[in-house]
Structure 1
Amino acid sequence: MNNIAVGNAAFLPDPNSLLSPAIDFMPAEIAGRRAAVWRGMQAESVRILESQPFEYCFRAPYHLLVVTDRAARFEGETSVEGLPKSNLRDLSRKLTFVPAGSQFHGWAKPRLLSRITCIYIDPHGSLLDPELGFDRIAFKPQLFFFDRSLWETAQKLKAEIGENRGGDHFYAEALGGVLCHELMRLNGSDPAPARGETGGLAEWQKQRLVDYIQTCLDQPISIAAMAALVCLSPYHFARAFKRSFGVPPHRYHMMRRIEATKVLLGKTSVPVTEIALRFGFSETSSFTAGFRRLTGLSPSEYRRTLG
């Protein structure tokens, strides 16, 4: 798949440009596709390019989540192995989940040119801690349903296809972890307690968090995203983080931001207001208050102490 890179892709009519697994469309040229690949999963945006009948099918050792932003058909039929076939005509804002190994097939005479996102998840990948047993869950198929939390997470992941913002693969992978937890919730599967939940973080968890936080010094970070990044619940993550780093997650994030601003204050003549904006502070006053809270000085006072 020479044309696909993490966060950097274009719509492609050639299905051979995609990694396996991917849905097959017949005829192949009816679908324009743009894809991105991350650790343990891949996703693709698909546009149907012509108003002519087409078929699609999929079976692979990967879970498939189909997120239909827009689709309607004059005629058609869709089936997921283990469920009755559906002739639903308005498919917009619908989700379909196909468990690994299950057959997914359908055809349509389109009334609207479809826009969908397909998310392929490796059950044995590294999005979640192995002790959660994600690879051992017998997931149930679901056809044309809606769940707000799952939809919103999938939309955030869709937005990462085609983006190229340095360390944002950590963010995409964190969203993948959240997506897996949402699928477990919908399936009624309770994960087993993960390693590290009663103590501090493992070394790999700490390093991943340090790297991720360093790429997000100019923006807020949610507890949920950080927790998913290291495969813990938000509650256990917050406790384990404080035990490992000595401070809560948001305070640590603020400390790293202030340390970065201190470098600019000491080595450049960049105005305080500009430094505040560069590191995600919407107002100079909030930057000044945060800086004083951690250093005992205002940014200007700190700069003057450096001579």
Structure 2
Amino acid sequence: MIAERTIIVANSVERRVQMLSSRADAQAETGSVIAYSPTEIVRRHFETWPGLKVETVQVKRRTSFEYRFRAPCHLLIAAELSEREHGETLLEGLPRSNQRILTHKLTFVPAGHDFYGSQKPRTLARTINIYIDPQGPLTDPELRFGEIEFKPRLFFYDRNLWETALNLKVQVENRNLMHRQYGEALGVLLAHDLVRINGNADPLSTSADRGGLAGWQQRRLAEYIEEHVSDDIPLAALAQLVQLSPYHLCRSFKRSFGMPPRKYHATRRIERAKQLLAERELPITTIALAVGFGETSSFTAAFHRLTGQAPSRYRRDLD
């Protein structure tokens, strides 16, 4: 029995390592992003989800620089800290701006619009750049996101968009497959809020409440998550499994299971880890990989968050 369990865990670990490698290769392809000049003036980190790319940008020194952008994707910029001695910003469709204090301001560049800026920074700026594919798989068909003619917006504030941008920044800075579904859910909310501020009616926000999931949907989702508990399960894949949009899946799942999909998935991973911890021959590092964690430290943190104990302490208490 122990030998069979060890083989199963080893296969799971191998699959996990291959998945991490594939993910790293995908992240190496940055696609269309803001071009900074000189390029070495900024430090950039990014993360991707289906139809969504998020990067954090840190200006490294107080010397003049420029930036340009035009792409077939939308761009939302959240300036956490940005002040300039002088400079200008041009966004196609809007008047030129020489505004100097840009901290806590948002800018939305619709797909295909020219965007240009220059500045002599007063502070070492920090921004969050969010690139949205108009035809991305996380947007609901009912929303017709790809058909909307979005208006450009320069240096504005919206609380919902701001909070979503900050939450996405956390996902970039704490890369962990446990949070992949959370990033996708944030992408769904982002699309709806962009429609809202654009002045378009959101048909999903006024549609009838679909309530919880049907029995067959609950069973199918629970079984699928259990079978793929160590994998990165895209939100869109779960939605397709039960023939719902990602937006309605998030709402209905929570009503039926009492928690969002990402938290349910995380809980099932920890429950699987508990079973494996009972096998004394399995190292904790091996168990961490087997249940979907790239490193022991993130596994320990997640285990402690849900159980109040470290994995090693939990294993000792089994005696």
- TM-score, shorter chain, exceeding 0.5: yes
Match of 2:144 in 1: 133
Specify the SS of the correspondent of 1:92.
coil
TM-score (norm 1): 0.67
Q: Does 199-208 or 75-84 show the bigger shift?
A: 199-208
Structure 2 letter corresponding to 1:231: Y
Q: Deviations over 1:271-302 (max 9, x none)?
A: xxxxxx7462569xxxxxxxxxxxxxxxxxxx
Is the 1:8–1:161 Cα contact (8 Å) retained in structure 2? no
Match of 2:68 in 1: 57
Q: Deviations over 1:159-198 (max 9, x none)?
A: 1114232232111111111111111111122233599964
C-alpha change, 1:196 and 1:125, in structure 2 (3 Å) is farther
Question: Is structure 2 residue 56 aligned with structure 1 residue 45?
Answer: yes
Is the 1:6–1:164 Cα contact (8 Å) retained in structure 2? no
Question: Is structure 2 residue 247 aligned with structure 1 residue 231?
Answer: yes
Between the aligned partners of 2:92 and 2:163, the Cα distance in structure 1 is 26
Is the 2:178–2:266 Cα contact (8 Å) retained in structure 1? no
C-alpha change, 1:84 and 1:170, in structure 2 (3 Å) is same
Match of 1:280 in 2: 306
Is the 2:34–2:68 Cα contact (8 Å) retained in structure 1? yes
TM-score (norm 2): 0.65
Q: Deviations over 1:220-261 (max 9, x none)?
A: xxxxxxxx9822297xx33x776xxxx453499789959975
Specify the SS of the correspondent of 1:150.
helix
C-alpha change, 1:282 and 1:229, in structure 2 (3 Å) is farther
Question: Is structure 2 residue 97 aligned with structure 1 residue 99?
Answer: no
Deviation at 1:63, TM superposition (A): 0.4
Trace 1:1-307 onto structure 2 (pairs within 5 A): 19-193=30-204, 198=210, 200=213, 207=221, 211=225, 230-232=246-248, 237-238=251-252, 247-250=256-259, 264=274, 268=278, 278=304, 280=306
Between the aligned partners of 1:230 and 1:149, the Cα distance in structure 2 is 19
Between the aligned partners of 1:102 and 1:73, the Cα distance in structure 2 is 24
* Matched positions, count: 255
Between the aligned partners of 2:43 and 2:200, the Cα distance in structure 1 is 35
Structure 1 letter corresponding to 2:306: G
RMSD over aligned Cα atoms? 4.5
Between the aligned partners of 1:29 and 1:170, the Cα distance in structure 2 is 33
Unaligned runs of 5+ in 1: 10-16, 216-227, 271-276, 284-302
Unaligned runs of 5+ in 2: 1-20, 231-243, 281-302, 310-317
Q: Deviations over 1:61-104 (max 9, x none)?
A: 10000111111111011121111111111111111011111111
Is the 1:6–1:169 Cα contact (8 Å) retained in structure 2? no
Specify the SS of the correspondent of 2:126.
strand
Q: Deviations over 1:139-168 (max 9, x none)?
A: 111111111111111100011114232232
Structure 1 letter corresponding to 2:86: E
Between the aligned partners of 1:108 and 1:255, the Cα distance in structure 2 is 45
Higher helix share: 2
Match of 2:10 in 1: none
Q: Deviations over 1:121-145 (max 9, x none)?
A: 0000111222220111111111111
C-alpha change, 1:55 and 1:250, in structure 2 (3 Å) is closer
